[in-house]
Structure 1
Amino acid sequence: MIYQNILETVGNTPIVELKKVIPASSPHKFWAKLEYFNPGLSVKDRIALALVEGAEKRGVLKPGGTVIEATSGNTGMGLALVCAVKGYKSIFVMPDKISEEKRAALRAYGAKVVITPTAVEPDDPRSYLSVSQKLAEITEGSFLTNQYHNPDNPNVHYQMTGPEIWQQTDGKIDVFVAGAGTGGTISGTGKFLKEKNPNIKIMCPDPVGSILHDLFYYKEVRNPPQPYKVEGVGEDMLPENVHMDVIDDFVQVSDKESFLMTREIVAKEGICVGPSSAMALVGAMKYAETLEKPSNILIMMADSGRAYLSKAFNDDWLKDNGFLPSPMKMTTVQDLLNVRKKPQPVISAKVGQSVLEVVNLLRDNGISQVPVFSDGKLVGVLDESDLIHPLATGKLKADEPIIHLIKGTIVWVDPNESLDTLSDRFQQGYIALLKDEKDQLHVITKIDLLEYISHNL
């Protein structure tokens, strides 16, 4: 079949049964509807065409006009694609937590991208919703698609996505799982499926930090909204397109669960989806534990993981955000001591010794740093670098005492401290010291840490 344009390829995305990522003991079937098979790589392609064509029919968007939207990236991508085909200009306003891949992709379609802060209230003039509204007011010939409140959003899912799923599964679906950002997917699709079979359960996974879970269960916000890293789902306000009467249950999922599952799905199933899709799967697996009989659970996997290479698939980003354990944080100073060569008596200097004596001490023992004692008390440390320049320039004579060269930058550490903490502490001093349970003094240097990391991590 030859399509007349790329917009005709939207929809009819495949459903794949998940097996390797699901516990073998589970009696349920988990089906993933892979929306990244859409041309814009997400479920939002479905609403993009509906939003634009709805505006055209109402006469609010005319040839040469500008489409404006507040987006987490996926709706923007769908709209950018539609605008490219139909000849409209586009401006998209995005919170700063959105991945650089999404920003670059929108610009590739010729769109203008405006970035706003994430951690502000929805009615704050700096929020992406407020900024998009302001841009619509000052841009002549513009149309604000308003995906959070535009009824064309859930309607297209009612008319298109719901029937598509019903046909693909032959109606043999027990649970439908979809996250809620604007609410269009779960509200429109859920409504259709409920009309076909009132016994189908509609479950919404929600990021920890979103207020939707509280609003569903308590009809009020008991836990104030908090920033979270998963993009495109959850809210700090209630969009009109979130139809709570369609939804049967909410399940909260943490950022860490979502990002780790993102990695697990692609590694085990060969399916590369974004963190919101992984969040939906984690929520589905939690919800499945409450089901009394084997069920067919369909999960909307909203987009592609390729839009999150700098985040979900970046080890450094995951470690920085506490989602991927760092070996340095999991390993302690005691671990370093356990594998170090049998401890030798601590080599130390005394305040009254001369520079030459300390130089010989460092040379004979093959060390570069030494603790300095006075009457049995530790008073500081001395490093070879403190001696080289003064001796070379004649500012220091070999027979002079070391007392004026001693530095008080001593770092005392605990054996249970992580090596990550030890590394930070080395920024405060040259030598780390600790006393063990036998009151034996141990000296740990930067070289000790480097050797341990090189051979053990």
Structure 2
Amino acid sequence: MTGVSTRGTGVLDSVAEAIGHTPLVRLNRVIDDIRATVYVKLEYLNPGGSVKDRAALGMLLAAEQAGELRPGGTVVEASSGNTGLGLAALAAARGYRTVVVVPDRVSAEKKALLRAHGAEVHETPGLRPVDHPEHLRSVALRLTAEIPGAWFAGQYDNPANPAAHKATTGPEIWDQTGGRVTHFVAGVGTGGTITGTGEYLKEASDGAVRVIGADPVTSVYGGGDGRIWYVEAVGHFLHPETAADEWPESYHPEVVDGIERIADAEAIRVLHRIAREEGLLLGGSSGTAIAAALRTARTLGPEDVVVVVAPDSGRAYLSKYYNDEWLGSLGFPLTTKVNGPTVGDVVGGLDRDADLAAVPSGATVAEARVLLGSGPALPVVLQRTASGPTVVAEILGSVSAETLAGAPAADPVGAHLGAPLPFTGTSEPLQQALIRLAGHTGPVVIAHEGRAVAVIAGLAESTEQEETQ
């Protein structure tokens, strides 16, 4: 992809030549009773730290060859972080300016890395429907139009994205396994990795290799309703106000033989096990992909070889998936054993599968008042056509008698929102939660594995009631 290379000597002409040729590492301790061989392809060893370096290089080269990106130009991308990082590193080495638009839920580490490469970072709310002026792509396209000499990479619809994986990732896996690979597993985000790699492996094996997509439970790729999830850089979110759901052109669903739907909590448990038992510190979407690979491998025999892509490193997510404060506040599995009671221990009688009592975002003030009744406050959640679990990240704010005082009955409730209620998770140590929420009086949302399952009058009050019983 980059012309003449001296890779074999260990001396390279540019950072671009260091992309690819990542190793496969066999899983040995987390496989339990699995008989198949499972290899993880360590894409975090690319110089930009992720599998997206491949697509970034492919897209840059294609744009240069087509004359769409000229010397002194600006690279613009909408990204959850990794593609932006790959583009920023390569653009810096090639003399381009980089502008990256990221959703507000991206880890702090990724934003810091982007800025370290000189990228200009624009943050926009993640909960926006397609075509909304604050949607990730809308902001990126506006900036492209405003900046002279700007080129929009557009990874979701850029054919150079899957082409890069067909040219590099697929052949590497085939050669590394000596053609023995029987199953290929990857997460589906833009679809470039699974499409390009899957197409090559199917062609090389005369259709024998099965391609398995790994997808968050609520992602629409695997049949979910599009509710948000917490593992970054995988899946397809669907805002309920999106008029027409368009899937990326980089994703070719016909390449995929099946999809394994993985809950966030399962992905996080796998991450923690992989770090402690295999010595691999991996990113969130790697947990989703490896959980899907292990699930697939349990159905296979000793002659089967499963290869799963680990897109990036856990170093970019230390503030999230390896941070007990973040994990506990959302009710996810912690990395360490808790000494003393958790929030879940003291807030008794919770139905952890229950739907949250809440006000839908499409309600009127009159409807909100009925739902609120005589209670102190209720969360306002992103309205969907069907009932189902409320993800904490989809809570938009709150309503109370105070916020609705004097509001016209026909007004949309969204015009009278108060701040979101504070939340704590069932796995959070009680003392930590009390310290974190110190000074707050009033209702608190209880979360379990990222889902809001209850609103309680107050954590301190609930703790006192528990102690007196």
Partner residue in 1 for 2:220: 211
- SS in structure 2 at match of 1:178: strand
* Amino acid of the structure 1 residue aligned with 2:287: A
2:38 touches 2:297 (CA, 8 Å); kept in 1?
A: no
1:313: Cα distance to partner? 0.8
* Amino acid of the structure 1 residue aligned with 2:228: P
Match of 2:46 among 33, 38, 46: 38
Partner residue in 2 for 1:311: 320
Partner residue in 2 for 1:231: 232
Match of 1:251 among 260, 269, 274: 260
Partner residue in 2 for 1:329: 343
Separation in 2, partners of 1:53, 1:199: 32
Match of 2:273 among 259, 264, 268: 264
1:330: Cα distance to partner? 4.6
Cα-to-partner distance string for 1:283-306 (whole Å, 9 max, x where unaligned)? 112223344674210000100110
* Amino acid of the structure 2 residue aligned with 1:225: G
Cα-to-partner distance string for 1:189-222 (whole Å, 9 max, x where unaligned)? 10000001111100001012211112xxxxxxxx
Match of 2:208 among 182, 199, 202: 199
Pairing 1:350-365 to 2, within 5 Å after superposition:
none
1:106: Cα distance to partner? 0.4
Partner residue in 2 for 1:345: none
Separation in 1, partners of 2:51, 2:261: 22
Match of 1:151 among 134, 137, 159: 159
* Amino acid of the structure 2 residue aligned with 1:230: V
- SS in structure 2 at match of 1:39: coil
- SS in structure 1 at match of 2:34: coil
Pairing 1:8-23 to 2, within 5 Å after superposition:
8-23=17-32
* Amino acid of the structure 2 residue aligned with 1:231: E
Pairing 1:107-186 to 2, within 5 Å after superposition:
107-186=115-194
* Amino acid of the structure 2 residue aligned with 1:154: P
Partner residue in 1 for 2:286: 277
1:333 touches 1:419 (CA, 8 Å); kept in 2?
A: no
Query: Cα gap change, 1:106/1:426 in structure 2, threshold over 3 Å: closer, same or farther?
Result: closer
Partner residue in 1 for 2:15: 6
1:320: Cα distance to partner? 0.9
1:279: Cα distance to partner? 0.7
Separation in 1, partners of 2:430, 2:324: 16
If you compute each CA radius of gyration, which structure gives the higher value, 1 or 2?
1
Partner residue in 1 for 2:375: none
1:258: Cα distance to partner? 1.2
* Amino acid of the structure 2 residue aligned with 1:234: G
2:75 touches 2:96 (CA, 8 Å); kept in 1?
A: yes
Query: Cα gap change, 1:150/1:320 in structure 2, threshold over 3 Å: closer, same or farther?
Result: same
Cα-to-partner distance string for 1:320-351 (whole Å, 9 max, x where unaligned)? 111126642353499xxxxxxxxxxxxxxxxx
Partner residue in 2 for 1:49: 57
- SS in structure 2 at match of 1:331: helix
- SS in structure 2 at match of 1:185: helix
Query: Cα gap change, 1:333/1:4 in structure 2, threshold over 3 Å: closer, same or farther?
Result: closer
Partner residue in 1 for 2:307: 298
* Amino acid of the structure 2 residue aligned with 1:104: A
Partner residue in 2 for 1:91: 99
1:124: Cα distance to partner? 2.0
> TM-score by structure 1 length?
0.71
Partner residue in 2 for 1:286: 295
Separation in 1, partners of 2:37, 2:236: 29
* Amino acid of the structure 1 residue aligned with 2:75: V
2:328 touches 2:429 (CA, 8 Å); kept in 1?
A: no
Separation in 1, partners of 2:72, 2:185: 39
Separation in 2, partners of 1:167, 1:48: 23
2:35 touches 2:301 (CA, 8 Å); kept in 1?
A: no
Query: Cα gap change, 1:171/1:107 in structure 2, threshold over 3 Å: closer, same or farther?
Result: same
Separation in 2, partners of 1:13, 1:419: 40
2:268 touches 2:287 (CA, 8 Å); kept in 1?
A: yes
2:36 touches 2:301 (CA, 8 Å); kept in 1?
A: no
Cα-to-partner distance string for 1:167-187 (whole Å, 9 max, x where unaligned)? 111000010001111111100
- Unaligned 5+ segments in structure 2 are 1-8, 238-245, 349-427, 435-456
Separation in 2, partners of 1:332, 1:241: 48
1:153: Cα distance to partner? 0.5
Q: Which moved more, 1:293-302 or 1:2-11?
A: 293-302
> TM-score by structure 2 length?
0.70
1:331 touches 1:419 (CA, 8 Å); kept in 2?
A: no
Partner residue in 2 for 1:106: 114
Separation in 1, partners of 2:71, 2:162: 26
Separation in 1, partners of 2:81, 2:125: 15
- SS in structure 2 at match of 1:165: helix
Query: Cα gap change, 1:333/1:242 in structure 2, threshold over 3 Å: closer, same or farther?
Result: closer
Match of 1:80 among 85, 88, 108: 88
- SS in structure 1 at match of 2:187: coil
Separation in 1, partners of 2:234, 2:55: 16
* Amino acid of the structure 1 residue aligned with 2:157: H
1:164: Cα distance to partner? 1.0
- SS in structure 1 at match of 2:181: coil
Partner residue in 2 for 1:448: none
Query: Cα gap change, 1:419/1:165 in structure 2, threshold over 3 Å: closer, same or farther?
Result: closer
Separation in 2, partners of 1:333, 1:108: 44
1:16 touches 1:33 (CA, 8 Å); kept in 2?
A: yes
